[in-house]
Structure 1
Amino acid sequence: MIAPELLSGLPSTEELPCSDDTPVDNEDQNSLPNLLLFMLASLWAERMDWYFGVDMAIYHTTGEDPRIPVVPDAFLSLGVERRKGGRSRRSYATWEENGVVPTLVLEMVSHKPGGEYGAKQEIYRQLGVLYYVIYNPEFWQRDRHQPFEVYRLVDGQYQQVFSTAEADHPYWFPEVGLGLGFRQQRLGGIEQEILVWYDAQGNPYPTPDEVQLQLRQRQQELDAERQRAESERQRAESERQRAESERQRAESERQRAEQLAQYLRSLGFDPDQLPEQ
């Protein structure tokens, strides 16, 4: 928590840039964090106590200048408003968030190393970010690391608590209530490696593409059920009409037989005593 007397000298997020204007150097740095955001927006749709930022500046007071931000590829803060004062954030300033720092930060190593294993890690350590995740699917051998590493802040220092070169093997964050990992999946019609959230049993939550596919499949199932029900209704209606036709035919036969019996009686014959042929 920042002392009230210090707040008056700090700029507001209305005055600060939303990022550091450093462009991402590959599309995954934008698409994969946004995929995690879209998944969270579905998983935690009813919760209003979290915020997930993508390529957004984090301003803090643990560095030399509070006007110089750190800009992770993504971060998750808990215990804050999803929309600050009902509005979207331009940036994230810890002094405007009651001192709440992100619980989890994600950095994706790019073609040009950006200090993910050094300078940025030190900034997050000083800031007090509990979990620091580095995703490095392409250059992990170059950097002599694993494709997916998780560091946890323990007694003020980061300790590596998880690393893997295997897909479908997430790390569980108990403070978040979610797991995070990577796996191969078709996304937007392209088979690729993506980051996804997992449940406590290690099952991946569905991506928006999978949700849409499930909805389409469910709609197809409902349409097929409606078609089957309509076919059954039509068959039952056909059977009813056939039975009605049979009833009407039998009634017509009965009436003709009655008319014949009456005619025979008019001639003096007993229709029940007619000679056998």
Structure 2
Amino acid sequence: MVQFDREIRLPTGAELPNSDDTPVDNENQNFIPNLLLFLLKFYWNQRNDWFFGVDMAIYHTTGVSPLVPVVPDGFLSLGVERFKGDALRVSYVVWEENNIPPIFALEIVSQTYGGEYDKKMDIYAKLGVLYYVVYNPYYWRRDQHQPFEVYRLVNGEYEQQIGEPFWMPEVGLGIGRGRYNDGGSQLEVLYWFDERGNRYLTAEELLARYRERFGELPE
């Protein structure tokens, strides 16, 4: 683990850049994490002890420098405030979050290889991210991996897990692939699942089921 000099004053979130200015290079990298976020906003709307970030910088003290962030496509932290007062976070600064690292991180592999299976894996392990998911639907043969892989941190190292959807008891969620209907097209995306393997439905799907059963909503 990288030793950090605690005598050095750590910058505040307001002093840190909130982006690495690296654009996403495929639609999945934006759409899938946002789908996971909005599912949580719907199903966990009464909870205020979680935060899900999308393409957001995580500043931490376990890397080469606290000024160098890691930027997952998506990540989930538990035991933190849903909102920082009346403001939205511009970045996730671990030392301003009671030193709580994310419990879950997601990387979606793109055409340009981004170190998802080595460099970033090492960063997340040192940070203490318990579950790390790599989604690679297009380039898995190139990278000699599976399209969907879940890793759990065991004694400081990631061990690949078996099963899909995969239940994460410490998170209280399962994660796996499913189909999303978008304008008549069936797209493969990632969804949350419950412990019994039931997929979390979107608000649109729940509304459609209600209409099938009861007809139109009352005005």
Q: Could you say which residue in structure 2 is the equivalent of 1:41?
A: 41
1:222 Cα shift? 5.6
Is residue 2:166 matched to residue 1:171?
yes
Question: 1:20 & 1:7 partners in 2: Cα distance?
Answer: 27
Q: Could you say which residue in structure 2 is the equivalent of 1:121?
A: 121
Contact 2:36 2:190 in 1 (8 A): yes
1:86 Cα shift? 2.9
Contact 2:39 2:202 in 1 (8 A): yes
Farther off after superposition, 134-143 or 208-217: 208-217
Q: Could you say which residue in structure 2 is the equivalent of 1:182?
A: 177
Q: Could you say which residue in structure 2 is the equivalent of 1:213?
A: 208
Farther off after superposition, 47-56 or 79-88: 79-88
Contact 1:187 1:209 in 2 (8 A): no
Q: Report the AA paired with residue 43 of structure 2.
A: L
Is residue 2:129 matched to residue 1:133?
no
Post-superposition, which runs of at least 4 consecutive aligned residues in structure 1 deviate over 6 A? none
Call closer, same or farther: CA 1:189–1:88 in 2, change over 3 Å.
farther
Call closer, same or farther: CA 1:66–1:209 in 2, change over 3 Å.
same
Q: Deviations over 1:94-147 (max 9, x none)?
A: 000000000000000011110000100000011111111000111111111011
SS of residue paired to 1:75: strand
Contact 1:196 1:207 in 2 (8 A): no
1:194 Cα shift? 1.0
SS of residue paired to 2:205: helix
Question: 1:172 & 1:160 partners in 2: Cα distance?
Answer: 13
Q: If each structure's helix is expressed as a fraction of its own residues, which one has the higher value?
A: 1
SS of residue paired to 2:40: helix
Q: Could you say which residue in structure 2 is the equivalent of 1:100?
A: 100
Q: Deviations over 1:181-227 (max 9, x none)?
A: 0022313442110111111110101023313433554662566xxxx
Question: 1:57 & 1:26 partners in 2: Cα distance?
Answer: 19
Contact 2:58 2:69 in 1 (8 A): yes
SS of residue paired to 1:32: helix
1:37 Cα shift? 0.3
Contact 2:211 2:217 in 1 (8 A): no
Is residue 2:167 matched to residue 1:198?
no
Question: 2:14 & 2:65 partners in 1: Cα distance?
Answer: 17
SS of residue paired to 1:25: coil
Report the TM-score, using the length of structure 2 for normalisation: 0.92
Contact 1:180 1:196 in 2 (8 A): yes
Is residue 2:143 matched to residue 1:143?
yes
Call closer, same or farther: CA 1:185–1:22 in 2, change over 3 Å.
same
Structure with greater contact order relative to length (CA < 8 Å, sep ≥ 6): 2
Question: 1:74 & 1:49 partners in 2: Cα distance?
Answer: 17
SS of residue paired to 2:21: coil
Percentage identity across aligned positions? Answer: 58
SS of residue paired to 1:123: helix
1:180 Cα shift? 0.5
Superposition map of 1:187-266 within 5 A: 187-217=182-212, 220-221=215-216
Question: 1:185 & 1:85 partners in 2: Cα distance?
Answer: 34
1:51 Cα shift? 0.2
Q: If each structure's strand is expressed as a fraction of its own residues, which one has the higher value?
A: 2
Call closer, same or farther: CA 1:15–1:144 in 2, change over 3 Å.
same
Question: Unaligned regions of 5+ residues in structure 2, if any?
Answer: none
Q: Deviations over 1:5-34 (max 9, x none)?
A: 938711111111212110000111001100
